[in-house]
Structure 1
Amino acid sequence: MGGYHFKHERLSEVIGLERGTDIVQFRGIPYAAIPARFRQSTLNDTLPSQPFDARQPGQVYRPSSFLGGIPATEYGCLNLNITAPTGALENAENDKVPVLVFIHGGGFISGSQCIAFNGREISDPTNLIQVSRKCNQAVIVVTINYRVGPLGFLASKDLVTYNKTHGEPVGNYGLHDQARALDWVSRFIHGFGGDPGNITVNGTSAGAISTHYHTLFPDHKFKRAILSSGTIIGLGPQTMDEHEANLSKYVEAVPNSNQPNCTTVELLQSAPVQELVTAVPAFLSYPLVDGQWVTRDVRNSLAIENPPDIMIGSCAYEQDVSEMLLEHATTTKTLSDDRFLLTVKDILSTNGIFHDAVDLLIADRVIREAYNIRRNDSADLQNWAALIGDITLRIPLVFMASLQPDRPMLIYEITATNPFTNSSMHYQKANHGINDFLLFDVAEDAVPEKHLEEWRRAVAALQSVWLDFCHGLTPWPPAKSSGIGFGPFYRIDNTVGGAVCQTLDELVGKPTVKRWSIVLRQARKFQTQK
């Protein structure tokens, strides 16, 4: 049998995939088991076979054209990949290497650690680890799968009762899956040469929001966190009433929804998995306010003891996400005012800056003028998208720092643009998620020659910052108020690669700062009116 045969101190023999001569990847390691649909996962402390062949991709929860035919299964989707320098594996009993755990995005509705672009897995860390070795900052990278969509985030009062009957936490199955993955890494990464006391968690989009939740967990098992384009301030959890309304749509949509003598939980558990996950078209799902880990009052929840170090950032063109969501809702050339504004309100409904003042936000003349919003329909989609992108993904960074002035926080902005000509919606924009392409750099050969030099500058800058942070270094000073304003920050661009910006004006430009100031001022005003 080929492959890289490795003897783990607690898991026994694992066969990995050799990526060249100096990197090994262990794929599809099952970190937890799912006892039943809508049950909390339980940690695995052994591997299912000996030796365990970890050379193939782990299964995912549903098939997708973005996953290249990877097998899908509901109960086998909780797996992770470990990619490590051979030197760390061969010296596993001695020097320990910092660990980076990556949580994928997808709006809590989709996504996987194996999502592909141009036939390559976007979050394959082979390139990053090669770079880390060359600059003497070796890391081990772990990427994880977790339950998403209805399997990961459906909630109802009946499901609360069901979970309590089994003596387990309520709902948020996907977040608890992630916590089990972090438990597994903390317990077993030592045997792969990783340092369990030096773990950094990084997530993008919903993965960043997830990471933010984990920083608030009282027993988090990591030292640092990188939040890339997502916070619980920008897109927070939903209440039980909101989840009940969503669950009713699934009950109506699944087959045999009128079965007599069948509880709601039994109905949803008996539905074929593919029919359940496709029953209600959606681009977003939300965690549940569970009264324990996840709260609606996100401002007060940020005040915790012994918080991890945080690096947080966004991309200059985050509005592409809101453009996609608004375009998805546009079934005619121009939606009616009510229908369009309802979609805007739905997207902003969990925003922690405006709380329950979203109606005031949408109607506010000052904010509408700042974003040149003249109409209440899809004819003004671009301007509405810019407002939504700022409120959900860009402004929360500054807002968080203002809420915690005594807590060191590294803040960055990515202005480096997408070079891929086959990505027409994102081409030449610093789009949502471009940080993953920069970090893992899996498709450099798809970058046109005219963009290659600037792309390499941006990749080198971002990878350097991430590796420094994983090794406990401070790539630039934390942001704080001073005589010249609030700063400093870090910009990752196409021109010089990376540069420290002393002020917010320098980072994003005075017109943008003016708009953000108006938004924050009006938010404070609305709170006093309530």
Structure 2
Amino acid sequence: MLSRLYFFLQLAAVLSVTTAIPSAPTVKLDRATLIGSTNGSVTSFMGIPFAEPPLGNLRLRLPKPVSGYAGTINATLPATQCLQLIPPVRTDMPAEMLQDMEAYVGNVLTGVPIPEGEDCLTVNVQVPAGTKPEDKLPVIVVSRGFTIGSSAQMPGDAVVTRSVQLGKPVVYVALNYRLHAFGFLGGKEVKEAGVGNLGLHDQREALRWVQKHISVFGGDPKKVTIWGSSSGAISSSLQMVTNGGNNEGLFRGAIMNAGSPIPTGDITELQQFYDQIVAHAGCANATDTLDCLRKIPAANLTAAAATVPNLFDYTGLATPWPPRADGVFLTAPPQHLVLAGQVAKIPFMSGDALDEGTIFATGSFNVTTEDQFRDYVHEFFFPRTPKALLAPIFNLYPNDPAQGSPVGTGDANQLAPMYKRMAAFQGDVIFQAPRRFFLDQRSSKQPTWSFISKRGSSPGLGYAHGSDFLPALAFGNELTDYIIQFATHLDPNGASNRTIAWPKYDSVSRPVLTLHDGDVPLAIETDDVRLLPMQGVTAVGIVSPL
């Protein structure tokens, strides 16, 4: 189902232009006339630059904001994507597992072709047709991806259309920012140059652009909500903890689908991957390796980035691309910043699909023994923790399929000897446990709501990563209603006649909105799945970040 949704989303980006009505809408942007397109009830302005193209000497440097606009700008074509790094699925895995993964991924690896390039620091702005500058509508700013993701893959047609139906129209902004080696390169050279987490810097610059320019599209810069999925959700949470928690008035609320402040450490701990990329890029003998990476063809740097572990590889979620402390954007490990109280004190919503780790556990199918599992966890997730001190973690995640993920499926779906154990562990370390940690730390200090999605089960993979976000984006479901209501009022309650009352989260009763398939689509349940195991991995991750 998710693969078809992904295909739909990319196709929608194209159709929203090709089916536009003849009379093109325009917007004055500084001294420029911006030409957009209207499809049904949605007007779109695509590929608007918010920063100078990060080409040549601007590669691997902080984004340089656009100084102004002039002339006529055609904003009717899908924006160029930043260079993607698509993770390949291992084809040597067991037949049933491969079949399940291929069914899940499908068109995610192909989809509708959208041009890629380094000149990609742009935003798409979509508004209800007929919106005027004085309307001052709430604004939702959306992001997604550390290695793959773009504004073209996140069309807001369904969200904007649903907002009009609810009588609560919103402006939708989708961001492009640099990915993988162009946006999230690690290593001491990167830290010393102050150019770590460039993708996060790009996002911040785009948010500044929104403050400066969104009013001409009919948006209210004082009513901005950031919304992220997966890596975009992690990014949204990190926008909350940067700058000592001072959000500079750039946003007033946040929504996170599968992503929270993660237990990563310092950017210099990625040195081996920096060195590997430098070597494959042909820069190992350069006096200044970072400068060498700026000068090689972009295709060469992308190819070098493809040599390090990816999400569907043996290492699973232990990849080098998630943000880490760089001394500038993140002055300490993200969860340490949360513990220090350096968090923007704004309302937020945070949720996960029930089985976040399943798709990422497929690459390690050949972990088959207890010793191999323990070595895996130690080597890739907690290498700076003595293995003897990890014994409680190993005990909290036993090789009992009934305690693994997909949750609640007993001995079924054990696609490899350690698959369900690995899926539970990986999904908890990166997604579920950080969500609970963030909520536990902040729910008594600011309004917070949490959800769990048990919709759209995939064979063998359960309620897998992305199964919460994509339907909300593509089809305007009940979660979309809550999101629109939150963006409008900073409270998801009262969204529509198909939603229910959603209590705020607290660390004692742990109420979560649960999305179900079937006759009772919404319920309030208790967020207590693997409570002790998650507390264990959180404690280790704080003491010894990944």
CA separation of 1:438/1:286 partners in 2, compared to 1, >3 Å: closer, same or farther?
A: same
- 1:102 is paired with a residue of what secondary structure? strand
Q: 1:53 aligns with which of 74, 77, 98?
A: 74
Distance change >3 Å, CA 236–CA 334, structure 1 → 2: closer
User: Within 5 A, what are the aligned runs for 1:345-356?
Assistant: 345=378, 348-349=381-382, 356=385
1:275 aligns with 2:304: no
Cα distance in 1 between the residues matched to 2:343 and 2:301: 40
1:210 correspondence with 2:239:
no
**Structure 1 residues 182 and 403, CA gap change in structure 2 (3 angstroms):** same
Describe the superposition over 1:383-427 as per-residue Cα deviations: whole angstroms up to 9, x where unpaired.
Answer: 221122123212332222222333321111111115xxxx7665x
Alpha carbons 2:255, 2:349 under 8 Å: kept: yes
Which residue is 2:113 aligned to? 69
Of 307, 310, 328 in structure 1, the residue corresponding to residue 363 of structure 2 is 328
Give the deviation of 1:177 after TM superposition. Answer: 0.5
Q: Which one-letter code corresponds to 1:517 in the other structure?
A: L
Q: Which of 417, 439, 445 lines up with 1:406 in the alignment? A: 445
1:248-267 maps to which residues of 2 (within 5 A)? Answer: 248-254=275-281, 256-257=282-283, 259=285, 262-267=287-292
Counterpart AA for 2:275: S
Cα deviation for residue 348 of structure 1 reads 3.4
* Equivalent residues, number: 461
- Counterpart pick for 1:147 among 173, 178, 185: 178
Q: Which residue of 2 aligns with 1:5?
A: 25
Residues 1:368 and 2:397 are matched in the alignment: yes
Q: Distance in 1 between the 2:387 and 2:487 partners?
A: 38
* Offset from partner CA, 1:103-133 (integer Å, 9 cap, x none): 013xx22222223xxxxxxx21112211110
Residue equivalent to 1:478 = 504
The reply to whether residue 246 of structure 1 matches residue 246 of structure 2 is: no
Question: Within 5 A, what are the aligned runs for 1:156-305?
Answer: 156-161=187-192, 163=193, 169-217=194-242, 218-220=246-248, 221-232=250-261, 235-254=262-281, 256-257=282-283, 259=285, 262-279=287-304, 280-281=307-308, 282-283=310-311, 284=319, 285-294=321-330, 295-296=332-333, 298-301=335-338, 303-304=341-342
1:27 and 1:329 mapped to 2: Cα distance?
40
Give unpaired runs (5+ residues) of structure 1. Answer: 116-122, 164-168, 443-458
Structure 1 counterpart of 2:408: none
Shift of 1:321: 3.6
Query: What amino acid is the match of 1:73?
Result: G
> Equivalent residue for 1:120?
none
Distance 1:249 1:210 in 2: 25
Identity of aligned residues (%): 23
Q: Which among 130, 134, 151 is matched to residue 87 of structure 1?
A: 130
Matched to 1:466, the amino acid is I
Matched-pair contact (CA < 8 Å) for 1:348–1:388: no
The unaligned stretches of length 5 or more in structure 2 are 1-20, 87-108, 312-318, 405-414, 494-501
Instruction: Determine the C-alpha separation between the residues in 1 that align with 2:241 and 2:540.
Output: 28
CA gap 1:523/1:465 in 2 versus in 1, 3 angstroms: closer
CA distance change for structure 1 residues 340 and 273 in 2, over 3 Å: closer, same or farther?
Answer: farther
Native 8 Å contact 1:204 1:227 kept in 2: yes
SS class of match (1:471):
helix
**TM-score for both structures, normalised by structure 2:** 0.76
> How large is the Cα RMSD of the aligned pairs?
3.2
CA distance 1:147–1:365, shift in 2 (3 Å): closer
Q: Residue 466 of structure 1 corresponds to which residue in structure 2?
A: 483
Q: CA deviation at 1:14?
A: 0.8
Q: Structure 1 residues 85 and 340, CA, compared in 2 at 3 Å: closer, same or farther?
A: same
Post-superposition Cα deviations, 1:169-194, rounded to whole Å, max 9, x if no partner, equal: 43111110111111111110011000
For residues 196-218 of structure 1, the C-alpha deviation after alignment (integer angstroms, 9 at most, x for no partner) is 00000000111011000101232
Work out whether residues 144 and 228 of structure 2, in 8 Å CA contact, stay in contact via their aligned partners in 1. yes
Residue 299 of structure 1 contacts residue 403 of structure 1 at CA under 8 Å; is this kept in 2? no
- For normalisation by structure 1, the TM-score amounts to 0.78
Q: Relative to 1, partners in 2 of residues 1:277 and 1:185: Cα closer, same or farther, differing over 3 Å?
A: same
- Equivalent-residue separation in structure 1 for 2:29 and 2:156 (angstroms): 24
| Cα distance, 1:143–1:471 mapped onto 2, change above 3 Å | same
Indicate conservation of the 8 Å contact 1:321/1:432, yes or no. Answer: yes
SS at match of 2:223: strand
Which position in structure 2 is the counterpart of 1:14?
Answer: 34
The answer on whether the counterparts of 2:81 and 2:114 sit within 8 Å (CA) in structure 1 is yes
Q: How far apart are the structure 1 equivalents of 2:122 and 2:334? A: 32
Tell me by how many angstroms 1:77 deviates: 1.2
CA distance 1:521–1:336, change in 2 (3 Å)? closer
1:119 maps to which residue? none
CA displacement 1:39-64 (0-9 Å, x = unmatched): 111111423x5210001111123367
Asked if the contact 1:340/1:378 (under 8 Å) is kept, the reply is: no
1:393 aligns with 2:408: no
Q: 2:518 aligns with which of 481, 486, 495?
A: 495
Question: Which deviations, in whole Å up to 9, do the C-alpha atoms of 1:270-294 show, x marking residues without a partner?
Answer: 3221121122242331223122431
Counterpart amino acid of residue 127 in structure 1:
A
Flag the structure with more relative contact order, 1 or 2, with Cα contacts below 8 A and sequence separation at least 6: 2
